[in-house]
Structure 1
């Protein structure tokens, strides 16, 4: 029994010793000296424990590297790697100071796999990890004397306080390179740094080929990133060294407005620069910036002498030659291959005369690459320099930069929706209608103007005669005469049929009931397109193969005369590609009929909720339809002469033409606001439940936000392909409830 106790005591002692050994083997330090090394398992931490240095293995790898990461952030975020090209195969590595004072990484056999390589021999050195994440090798007796630092030898991450340096004279360019893969920190095929040619700008290269550039720095923003002037302050903080240092080098640094924010820029495996900020509440990284993020931001997307416009909806429309230029290969250009770029239609005449060429101004542009800076005070002198140089293709006078001229091909140009610079493109005088041709054009235009004036007088006389004939006929015929042709009553009779003279435009056509009946085959069942709460819709045909949609409201229709008048008043005055166009109307006895342009693809719900058709709506078409509805809604709320609240926006009220362009229809419930009015109340709540905003359904209070709510429900239906009410009876109650719960 006593022997058993002795054995248990021995085992306990051994366990305690093992724990003590493990604690000793995983120590942390604040500096590396000759007497204090970092073995695999030990770490070096910054003073306030923001950054940590030690040995690590990448994801799905057993190889060991020395790196720096954020100490208290998971998952581990590596910002710098020492031996990225010579990993260790086991856990026997050590980071220490060598006999010559350099910081080195050695393997288990004391072979050096990485070194700071600072000549000559250093006797009094110490390595410290600063709070900025910078690993510094300095003099132990004078810490301000730095021999080497990791910020001057970056890998893939740019941290606040770093200096991105370039020396145009020597060609030195301190570049960032991404990892080869998620498991391999060795340098990838991309690099990021300052362009050594021309005004300072950030460039991403793939090998020697440019993939993206920021545009020149104008002392406030990079001109190729105009959003920097509008987005959050996290983008601000860039500074350029001015004047250049003694050796001619310049550098960018980044100082955030709030020093407590953890921010980093990183070049990714696929050559994209991303900026992140650590969200302390969510405990995750928030993406703030991504470049390039669009097709037009890719380097020279449309070739030489052309402009890329991201606002255009489809691929071929994004690229266009500058005025005065044409595609080098029209067939390739038509097929969507823009790599050949454009060429001048008319060569410059500079060599013959200094007065033969003119300049065309382009605004809101990303300046072309490879511009040259000329120290001049104003735009006029800048223009003079370009005029006198026959190689000069363009010039710009940019605030914060000064005069820039381009003597090479104009490449990598983009048109921005907001911001951008003005550039003056040199063209042959004939391209702009030069002085020699101006007199001829004046004569030609004068002749054309005189001819048009005579033509207008002749048309006016014919019109007056026709009006007199119509007025005479209206005096002798009833307003709605039954005949067998497609008669159209003039608007002079509208005051007799629409209460209060609602439709008072001379060009608004009033059709007889007989003409509408003939167009629809007497409202034949085979011409029936659909039926809703306000009546039945038929397809009709007028002479000349003109197809129309006829909305016939019966006496039992939910839409009364007031809604009918309202719909005519609104649609007759609205003109937009994403709103259905009203062709005319008919009011006779108890009949109330509206005539619209025909939509061959019917309504959106017929595609969304039909198992056989929904497959034809790919994501590109759905996105296009959402954008069209949004543009139509924006027009109603902001851009039309009248501020209009639709109040019944739903999938069955979105019609699709033959090219699948969406058009908002059914304005019977719509209301007009003045532009100072934000909302209104009603005791008569109308619309479709499930699409109505809660404050409207329950309190009768509606505004443009009510339409935005309905638009949100519509987006959910478009994206999911499910009806809002398809979840009725489930625990979620509706599609909105399902999305919120998910």
Structure 2
């Protein structure tokens, strides 16, 4: 006992000493007022990823205070005293008497301070956060300064990159002067907001060295989707405007646990790195070739790094401004017009389309709603040299020279139109005025002869099966017992027709004779029957000329079918799109009412999807998904009418000989006015499993109702299973099943087993993600079809987080009742449910 008493160190003293040693040997994440960090001490973030301390670059004796990755001390992400290095190891970092962070050299002179005025706090403290941000807080724990708002040359996840029209060019990051000198270098990186946000590299003189291209809400449009840039494109997001009108770019890596950084190097290149556990892997290098250099070929010229001939070429209608320099490979002078524009002389000009191009710099945004309006906006402004209408950006016009135009192998859906004199539009196809006159005269003679023959033919034509009773602006079509096989090729005269006493706009469609259709379908024999629905039956037929048709024959007992019939002849006659089924004509004769469509040899999608899944490979499914999306986008936004389909399902998607999808069955569709966004109905019609919650429960429908149906259909296409095929399982629907797997990070199990091994996992997961976004509970969180198309066509889009969908709102008491195939059931709340049947 006596020996122990003589020991000058007690157990508590030993513990205290070990704690003090551990503090600076292993590091903590905080420094408080009155504490001093000496050269050799370190702050370590709470997760052990970042360190703050004193360092010297390789082959340099100068000392700096900085932050770096603990796994690689040479990966410095922030430097405090970058322009005032210390010459020895006697420097310290502390919090001064005024509460500011300060770095002092060996002589006690300040070489850097945080620069917050009037803190006057004796309880300030600084903490190195897990994301690498050094934060200085006052006595109320309010962050009054942080390193993320005063970066050096590195952009980290969690940083905010401001974009502001009022601020103009925002230069946030500055390169080192050299590999061993962290002082301010020759290159800076930041953002510009005018004409669409972009990321830009500037050189020391303020000239642009590289730009990313305009942000379209998902990606930067000027970067090729090559493998080394895909990571750059994925993860960026742009916030909404704050109270000062500023927006912020942020970056979130797909794998939040992976270490990632963007670095502006002293040679003027931006690089992205990711730590693979042993070393840094380079994912991005921009500018990556000479065409990425800003305006490498000069104004009105394109740069294509991947062509074997000349890298630089003038736009069509332009020529090199300095021919002698151009031929020697000096393209900086750019190009000039061959023919001056006519606009100033009061004559119209034309436009030439350019595809797969990086959009020119210095664009201006114009608030118009359509591509045609955008074109007119440019055409009406003689200073406008080009225009583009881009998803996510809308109308852009260019005033003045076209600058920094580059061919990029990505963005096949990007295009812009530049202004030319009409004489330059078809330079190689010019013909003399004399030839034009001769062609016109010959054409006129042929036209006169054709009209005379047509008149003679119509005089002989007997359409005894159709009696037309003219009554002011209406025509009544009555039954006739003629057996003639001729049909009317159109309808001229009065503008309306009467169908069962209801007056509707006359369809711009051929009116087929009943006997012609009967003969084409072999008198509607069962062998020619393609399917059955609530409206009636569908038959295959062949016209006398050999054209194959599909005939939808209205059942005489179907009230629903009559409404569908009226709807389709009003709508489909006015809609033209490659992903909509084409209506060839109709028959209205007594109680017989029929619609004649182009024949789809592969019938409906459900015929393959739920019976012959193995015949639908992944690429075919992707093509079907994209085709349906483009068809819906046309209905919602690009057609002359704004259409809500209301019954989108697998059996209403027809497939042509090349497996191209065609949306059909517009009997339940509704037309919206130009400013109308949603409507309510007391009679809910649709198909169980495809109706959105707000439509099934409240009768409220909008374009987002179709988006929900598309989401269900997308999940069915990927999985090869019906949404309604889970009655006997623990899940209520395919949506419930998909959500559970998605939530458990097992989304690959959703994919149809017949294609799981052969599909592209990244692409399949993107489709599942988009499908889950479309079937979200609230309509406000579902994307529009314009956004869906953009996400589908982008290689690596940034997709929002999925909210848990409602997947039981459509289930009713009838779910447990047997429903005969092909029959219709109307529920007590007037929800019409038609079972799916192949046609």
TM-score greater than 0.5 by the shorter chain: yes
CA RMSD of aligned residues (A): 6.7
1:282-322 CA distance string (max 9 Å, x none) = xxxxxxxxx989xx998689999999xxxxxxxxxxxxxx9
Confirm whether residue 40 of structure 1 aligns to residue 25 of structure 2: yes
Task: Report the equivalent of 2:697.
Answer: 698
1:622-646 CA distance string (max 9 Å, x none) = 3433333233223333333333332
Confirm whether residue 551 of structure 1 aligns to residue 552 of structure 2: yes
Distance 1:104 1:563, change over 3 A: closer
Among 93, 101, 126, the residue aligned to 2:92:
126
Task: Report the equivalent of 1:591.
Answer: 592
1:252-279 CA distance string (max 9 Å, x none) = xx999xxxxxxx993399x997799xxx
CA contact (8 A) 1:570 1:667 kept: yes
Distance (Å, rounded) in 2 between the aligned partners of 1:699 and 1:570: 26
Task: Report the equivalent of 1:214.
Answer: 212
Q: Give the CA deviation at 1:582.
A: 0.8
Distance 1:350 1:521, change over 3 A: same
Task: Report the equivalent of 1:179.
Answer: none
Distance 1:727 1:171, change over 3 A: same
Distance (Å, rounded) in 2 between the aligned partners of 1:18 and 1:468: 118
Counting only pairs closer than 5 Å after superposition, residues 427-446 of structure 1 correspond to structure 2 as: 432=425, 441-446=432-437
CA contact (8 A) 1:644 1:672 kept: yes
Distance (Å, rounded) in 2 between the aligned partners of 1:143 and 1:433: 70
Task: Report the equivalent of 2:21.
Answer: 25
CA contact (8 A) 1:45 1:53 kept: no
Task: Report the equivalent of 1:164.
Answer: 174
1:719-741 CA distance string (max 9 Å, x none) = 33321112224443222333455
CA contact (8 A) 1:366 1:421 kept: no
Distance (Å, rounded) in 2 between the aligned partners of 1:437 and 1:735: 57
Task: Report the equivalent of 2:733.
Answer: 734
Task: Report the equivalent of 2:666.
Answer: 667
Q: Give the CA deviation at 1:546.
A: 1.6
TM-score by length of 1: 0.57
Distance (Å, rounded) in 1 between the aligned partners of 2:462 and 2:486: 18
Confirm whether residue 645 of structure 1 aligns to residue 644 of structure 2: yes
Q: Give the CA deviation at 1:597.
A: 1.0
Distance (Å, rounded) in 2 between the aligned partners of 1:380 and 1:566: 44
Task: Report the equivalent of 1:357.
Answer: 338
1:448-480 CA distance string (max 9 Å, x none) = 445444544444444444444447867999965
CA contact (8 A) 1:679 1:703 kept: yes
Q: Give the CA deviation at 1:41.
A: 0.3
Distance (Å, rounded) in 1 between the aligned partners of 2:292 and 2:186: 28
Task: Report the equivalent of 2:613.
Answer: 613
Distance (Å, rounded) in 1 between the aligned partners of 2:690 and 2:605: 15
1:399-446 CA distance string (max 9 Å, x none) = 8xxx8798xx96446998999999789x9x985567x998x6555445
Q: Give the CA deviation at 1:602.
A: 1.7
Counting only pairs closer than 5 Å after superposition, residues 173-192 of structure 1 correspond to structure 2 as: 173=186
Distance 1:125 1:682, change over 3 A: closer
Deviates more, 1:582-591 or 1:343-352: 343-352
Task: Report the equivalent of 2:635.
Answer: 636
CA contact (8 A) 1:609 1:722 kept: yes
Distance 1:482 1:301, change over 3 A: farther
Q: Give the CA deviation at 1:609.
A: 1.9
Distance 1:483 1:380, change over 3 A: closer
Task: Report the equivalent of 1:281.
Answer: none
Q: Give the CA deviation at 1:45.
A: 3.9
Task: Report the equivalent of 2:654.
Answer: 655
CA contact (8 A) 1:350 1:357 kept: no
Secondary structure of 1:552's counterpart equals strand
Unaligned runs of 5+ in 1: 28-38, 56-64, 87-96, 106-111, 177-191, 204-212, 240-253, 257-263, 277-290, 308-321, 370-378, 384-396
Distance (Å, rounded) in 2 between the aligned partners of 1:342 and 1:643: 42
Distance 1:651 1:481, change over 3 A: same
1:644-682 CA distance string (max 9 Å, x none) = 332222111111222332221112222334335444444
Distance (Å, rounded) in 2 between the aligned partners of 1:607 and 1:153: 57
CA contact (8 A) 2:550 2:598 kept: yes
Distance (Å, rounded) in 2 between the aligned partners of 1:81 and 1:640: 63
Confirm whether residue 537 of structure 1 aligns to residue 533 of structure 2: no
Counting only pairs closer than 5 Å after superposition, residues 442-457 of structure 1 correspond to structure 2 as: 442-457=433-448
Distance (Å, rounded) in 2 between the aligned partners of 1:306 and 1:519: 64
Q: Give the CA deviation at 1:570.
A: 2.0
CA contact (8 A) 1:535 1:551 kept: yes
Task: Report the equivalent of 1:33.
Answer: none
Confirm whether residue 579 of structure 1 aligns to residue 589 of structure 2: no
Bigger relative contact order, structure 1 or 2, given CA contacts below 8 A and separation 6+?
2
CA contact (8 A) 2:584 2:598 kept: yes
Distance 1:76 1:567, change over 3 A: farther
CA contact (8 A) 2:318 2:338 kept: no
Task: Report the equivalent of 1:267.
Answer: 262
Confirm whether residue 143 of structure 1 aligns to residue 110 of structure 2: yes
Distance (Å, rounded) in 2 between the aligned partners of 1:326 and 1:274: 24
Distance (Å, rounded) in 2 between the aligned partners of 1:54 and 1:527: 91
CA contact (8 A) 1:693 1:709 kept: yes
Deviates more, 1:356-365 or 1:445-454: 356-365
User: Would you say how many aligned residue pairs link Structure 1 and Structure 2?
Assistant: 574
CA contact (8 A) 1:304 1:341 kept: no
Task: Report the equivalent of 2:368.
Answer: none
Q: Give the CA deviation at 1:594.
A: 1.7
Q: Give the CA deviation at 1:578.
A: 2.0
Task: Report the equivalent of 1:34.
Answer: none
CA contact (8 A) 2:27 2:43 kept: no
CA contact (8 A) 1:201 1:215 kept: no
Distance 1:344 1:272, change over 3 A: closer
Distance (Å, rounded) in 2 between the aligned partners of 1:368 and 1:349: 18
TM-score by length of 2: 0.51
Counting only pairs closer than 5 Å after superposition, residues 276-355 of structure 1 correspond to structure 2 as: 348=319
Task: Report the equivalent of 1:513.
Answer: 514
Task: Report the equivalent of 1:182.
Answer: none
Distance 1:532 1:81, change over 3 A: farther
Distance (Å, rounded) in 2 between the aligned partners of 1:113 and 1:681: 59
Distance (Å, rounded) in 1 between the aligned partners of 2:172 and 2:103: 13
Task: Report the equivalent of 1:372.
Answer: none
Distance 1:644 1:164, change over 3 A: same
Distance 1:137 1:706, change over 3 A: same
Distance 1:233 1:501, change over 3 A: closer
1:523-553 CA distance string (max 9 Å, x none) = 3444332223322222222244422112233
CA contact (8 A) 2:92 2:104 kept: yes
Unaligned runs of 5+ in 2: 68-73, 114-133, 135-146, 161-170, 190-198, 224-232, 251-258, 275-282, 325-334, 342-350, 362-380, 386-396, 469-477, 744-839
CA contact (8 A) 1:653 1:665 kept: yes
Task: Report the equivalent of 2:799.
Answer: none
Max Rg structure = 1
Distance (Å, rounded) in 1 between the aligned partners of 2:594 and 2:3: 103
Secondary structure of 2:110's counterpart equals coil
Distance (Å, rounded) in 2 between the aligned partners of 1:24 and 1:202: 50
Secondary structure of 2:627's counterpart equals helix
Distance (Å, rounded) in 2 between the aligned partners of 1:621 and 1:431: 41
